[in-house]
Chain A
Amino acid sequence: MATQLRVPRVVITPHLMGHTVGPVGDRARQREVGDAALDLLTTAREPETVFALD
């Protein structure tokens, strides 16, 4: 869906619905997702850049 919406940059996370940034209380994972998003913000060079986080 993220690619159909043609957003400029997107980080895709493999979490439960409603836990996009990470599981409840898992600050380390939430930080990892946040860092990935900020990194993509500065490193993407073209629209529709997709980064899938494991």
Chain B
Amino acid sequence: MTDRSEQPSMTFEEFRRSFYYGSRTDLRFKFLASLPDDAAADAVARILRTVGQACDTGDWDAVQDAVIAEQDAAYGPADPVEATVADAPFAPVRQPLPELPLALITAGGVFRRGDDPLGPDGPSQQEVLGREHVKRALSGPPSLSEISVDTPPAELTARHPGYDATSAHRDPNAVFPLDVLREVAETGGVSLASTHYGFVGATAQGRLRDRVAPEWAQRLLEAKVGAALLVAT
């Protein structure tokens, strides 16, 4: 058994910061790093309280609700966005949806297995949680993965340094609802473009706004896309 008295002590600040690309990296709880000690302690206590109650009641939805509430409170509306936006362009839809080929675009890092944007030996989700990978994702240009409309969900995977993409491994529809849109299309509610797209939203936002997004928009226009549904994570 480990003699705990020989281990260096850890402050609560070190503990909460360790969830943010540290020794306990967990992107569901990385928000703890941004909170003051008191607020983080209260958040942990509230979540643990619901876990304890769920052990008795079986109400695990309450645990999920508690985590959502803490994430929501931590990220809040006060944080300014990195790239300011001068205007809000708006194109009213003047045709029935089935006449506008719809493209799905996710910022959740979804791509087809066998078409890894980082090459055939691309890193795993766990591997991109290292600080070097995070830095590289934020500094390098994003790439747009193409996903054919008939791609089965089992052929999809995801990798992202900003959220826990293992959820998307279990069900890509959580951030890339292609199955959902195919359901709607089957009943004629929408017409789907032949190609859909994924990229990693954790990237330099100014470059995305000024250079990359206009290029991608041109690609969509050339593909005769009539409308786009963008899913953030």
**A and B together in one complex:** yes
| Contacts from A to B (Cβ < 8 Å) | 1-8, 14-25, 27, 30-31, 33-35, 37-38, 41-42, 44-48
Interface locus among B3-11, B89-97, B143-151: B89-97
Contacts between chains A and B (CB distance < 8 A), count: 112
B55 lies within 8 A of chain A by Cβ: no
Contact of A42 among B89, B93, B174 (CB under 8 A): B93
| Contacts from B to A (Cβ < 8 Å) | 27-28, 64, 67-68, 71-72, 75, 77, 79-81, 85, 87-93, 97, 102, 108, 160, 163-165, 167-168, 170-171, 173-177, 179-181, 183-184, 189-190, 227, 229-233
Residue in A17, A23, A33, A41 with the greatest tally of chain B CB atoms within 10 Å? A17
* Chain B: minimal CB distance from A51 (Å): 13
**Cβ–Cβ contact A23 & B174, under 8 A:** yes
**Cβ–Cβ contact B27 & A17, under 8 A:** yes
What CA separation (Å) do A5 and B88 show in the bound complex?
8
